[in-house]
Amino acid sequence: MVHAWIVATMVAIVGASVGFFVVMRGSAFVAHAIPNGSFAGAAAASLVGVSTLLGLGVFAVAGALGIGLLGRRGRHDVATALTLVFMLGLGALFLSFSVEYEPQVFSLLFGEVLGISSNEIWPTAALSVVCLLTLAVLWRPLLLNSALPESARALPAFRLELCFLALVALATTMTVPVVGTTLIFSLMIGPPAAARSFTARPHLALAVAVGIALAVVWAAIALSYQTNLPIGFFVAVAAASAYTVGRLWSWLRRGRRRS
C-alpha cells in the first residue's frame, strides 16, 4: 500500500501537469492514442524477456514521433489514427507469438497499482523528475503556442510540437503501470478539463488540476482496496464526476453573471 500511494501520487502530479496542455491544445486523441499504441512495446518486451516498462517507453516515444512527423504536412487526426492502428497491429502480432499468459502485460492494459513493487518506484520517480523539468523548460513557449497560436508564429512550432508529443510519451510511460493503457486518458483529461471550468488563470488551473488528480487517484486506491474492484473503474468515474462538477460550476457562475 505504501508503494501504491507513493507511485500514485507521482502519477497524479505528472499526469495532471502534462494533461493541462493536452486539454489546452485539444490533443485528447493523442493522449488516448499514444498509451494504447505503446501497448505493442509492452507485448514485444514480454516476448523477448525484457522489462515491459522499457518496451512501453520505446514504443511511446516512437509513436509520438510518428504522429508528429506524419501530421506535419497532413491532418493531425489522420496521422494519429494511422499511428494508433499500426501500433495496435504490431501488438496483436507480438501477442500471437506468445504461448503464455503474461500477468504483467494484462496489468499494463487495465492497471494494477496495488501490485507495484519497490523496484518500480525509482524508475517512476526518475521519469517524473524528467517530465516536470521538461515541462518547466517548455512552460512559456507551450503556453503561448497553446493559448495564442496566431501570435506565436515566430516560435519553432514543429519542434515545439515534437517536444510536447515526447513529453506525453514520457508521461504515458510512467502512468500506464498505475491506471493502464485503456484509462490513462481519464487521468490526463478529466482533472485538467475540470480545473479549466473553475478558473482561467493558467498557474491556478494547473494547481487545481493537480489537486483534483491527487484526490481522484487517492480515492480510487482506497475504494479499490476496500471493494476489490479495478482501480481503473474508479479513476474513470471520479475523473468524469470532477469534470461534471466543473461544468455545473461554470454554468452556475454564468447564470449569476447574467442575473
pLDDT at 100 > cutoff 60: no
Per the model's pLDDT, the better-predicted residue between 157 and 85 turns out to be 85
Quick one: pLDDT band at residue 215, thresholds 50, 70, 90?
Answer: very high
Q: Which residues, including other chains, have CB under 8 Å from residue 176's CB and lie 6 or more apart?
A: 35, 38, 56, 108, 184
Query: Quick one: average pLDDT of 124-146?
Result: 87
- Closest among 50, 35, 51, 49 to 91, alpha carbons compared: 35
DSSP code of residue 156: -
C-alpha cell at 234: 474508479
Say if CB 217 and CB 11 are below 8 A apart: yes
Predicted confidence (pLDDT) per residue in 149-183, tens digit: 665 555 567 778 888 888 888 888 777 766 676 66
Q: Where are the domains of the chain?
A: 2-258
> What span, in angstroms and rounded, lies between the C-alpha atoms of 197 and 184?
21
How is residue 32 written as a grid cell?
488516448
Task: Reduce the DSSP state of residue 175 to 3 states and report it.
Answer: helix
Q: Decide which of 3.40.50.2300, 1.10.3470.10, 1.20.140.10, 2.40.50.140 is the CATH code for 2-258.
A: 1.10.3470.10
